[in-house]
Chain A
Amino acid sequence: MPNAEYFATTELREALRLLAERGDQITVLAGGTDLAPKFNCRELQPGALLYIGKLGLNYIIAKNGGLAIGAATTLEDLATSRLVLERAPVLAQAAAEMGNPAIRNVATIGGNLVTASRAADMPPPLLALDAELILVSERGERVIPIGEFFKRAHKTVRLSDELLTEIRIPSVKGQTAFVRHGRRKIFSCCVASAAVRVVLDGGKCADARIVAGSMAPTPVRCLGAEGVLKGKNLTSDLAGEAAAQAVGECKPIDDERASAWYRRRVIKVLIERAINQASGL
């Protein structure tokens, strides 16, 4: 029988106190798009829910040339924010391509990160942008580079007394692209995605980020593929070479949406297209 408690404080301090006292029994609720289906079929019956939608964590502000985004910011706000469109267009695009309009009105960026699904859409662009995540607890604040946040599927470094409050995107150089493949043109779960950032110096690639989504338990930053690009003249052929290198860095699985065989082929194409798109080839 369900007998959960419900907390919907407006005070961050109060929320952190609750987490410090009994974080291991508390399920943090933001948009609820991942949790509610589990409640509906009784797969998940939490002892207590802490709703963070009233903590004032729904914000997008310009900071140090980059962005600070509250963890409870909805995907719709991300997708339509002029600031995000200007400073992190790949993030806006990834948010716009996720779910459907109604889901984007409730789903949050923080929820997408903390749920840490293999198919999550927010991590790849954030990795490409060198984002940092702010975890706050009564013990203080931790700043975690997003690359260190995910431990495995559905598991992050967040401790039970911590709350993800903010996503920081530094001012980064370069041009970006995000290419996603789902099984339906609009509104489908991600099968594979590629987020790319290239910093061009003349025709040469000075720096690069190549991230593959849904290709392993956690998003994959393809360092080898980045190495292929760095210091070289960016051409379509080189993009193809880097994409081929990236495939070897992924560990895709078979699941309901696609086979590992298919994912390996399609990620190569997506990464190649993303590099070409980012570098205007």
Chain B
Amino acid sequence: MKKRGVGIAVYCHPTGAKGGGDPSQAMMRLKLDGTLDLLVGSVDLGQGSNTVLRQIAAETLGVPLENITVTNHDTDTGPLCMGTGASRVTFMDGNAVIAAAEDLKRQIREWSTERFEVAADDLEVADNKVSVKGNPQAFMSFAEVGNEMNWKGSFPVGKGSYCPPAQTFDQETGRMTQIAAIAYAACVAEVEVDTGTGVVEVKKLAQAYEIGTGINPLLIKAQIDGGTMQGLGFTLAEDLGPNYPSLKFAPSNFLDYLIPNTADVPEMTYTTVSLPSRGEGPFGAKGFAEMCSFPPIAAIIGAIHDAVGIWIYDYPATPERVLRALEAAGTPAA
């Protein structure tokens, strides 16, 4: 027999490392032809950090996206990054990239004062050029600026760093107030429970995220889709210790350790929520990548309860655990 149920859950997730003190640096170098190298220390693990940081750099500096090359993960040339994790790269590296771009803009403006015979504050860097405020005819393209600055003795490299202050837990109260932007999510899950086999099929997921400003909708969707699938695996199937604590039957391959595939994708919808004020992230962005795997989990467990009246306390909610709980509740398999 198949029974349907609905469940909900709400979550919050902080950006960055526990207790702060996790630095990120960025460098932007203006080249002879006006194109730029963006150097960061974070790693593109698939989440798309290079793409996002390039967008942030292009926006801040006012240059075309394709004029920026991103180089990451070479410890000889790359700047420092505490690590690509804890949902921190868009936020911490992003802020460092903004600082580097602003630094480069400042250098360009200061260098250009002589050329235009105005104060640095009267110059603006935008649209791939430096120009005199209020006099758009007086400008130099980035190609000219890059050529001249480099050949005439300057080294146009913008540097930026960002590091939230470090804090330790208070020994007695555990007080810890260093928590960077907190993102939010909520989920409604609809499941179908087969009371004969204990199989739970997730039919529909609706999710809402509050992540500050979204930098790249394509990558946000990828994080939500992908995180959701990892969350589904966690909820219903994945367990390295199925006979915990015994090591018996520990899975060692993808035949026994089952991660979700295309057939496990439920009908999914999302929306994002906009708040009137934004925090300290780049353009108001919050870190949220990790959180994408949370929302379905408790919503599914709640939905199982709604469908067949049982609570599962040990996860994943495997068919066997569901059947055992049904049997304990006096519902034999059918």
Contacts and interface: CB of A to CB of B under 8 A. Distances in A.
Q: Do A and B come from one complex?
A: yes
Nearest to B196: A269
B321 to A, nearest CB: 10
Given A181-B197, A255-B249, A269 B334 contact: yes
A242 to B, nearest CB: 15
B325 to A, nearest CB: 13
Interface in B207-253: 237, 242, 248-249, 251
A257 B263 contact: no
B333 A185 contact: no
A256 B263 contact: no
Contact of B249 (A188, A189, A256, A265): A256
A266 interface: yes
A183 B258 contact: yes
B264 interface: yes
Interface residues of A, number: 22
B320 interface: yes
Interface string A258-269: 110110011011
Contacts of B262: 186
B75 interface: no
B255 A273 contact: no
A187 B263 contact: yes
Contact of B201 (A181, A185, A254): A185
B323 interface: yes
Nearest to A240: B334
Given A184-B264, A265-B333, A189 B237 contact: no
Given A261-B320, A262-B319, A266-B319, A184 B263 contact: yes
B320 A257 contact: no
A189 B251 CA distance: 13
Interface of B: 196-199, 201, 237, 242, 248-249, 251, 255-256, 258, 260-264, 319-320, 323, 327, 333-334
Q: Which 4 A-B pairs have the closest CB atoms?
A: A269-B196, A186-B263, A256-B256, A185-B263
Given A187-B263, A188-B255, A256-B251, 16 more contacts: A181-B319, A183-B237, A184-B261, A186-B263, A188-B258, A189-B255, A255-B249, A256-B242, A256-B249, A257-B256, A261-B320, A262-B198, A265-B323, A265-B333, A266-B197, A268-B333
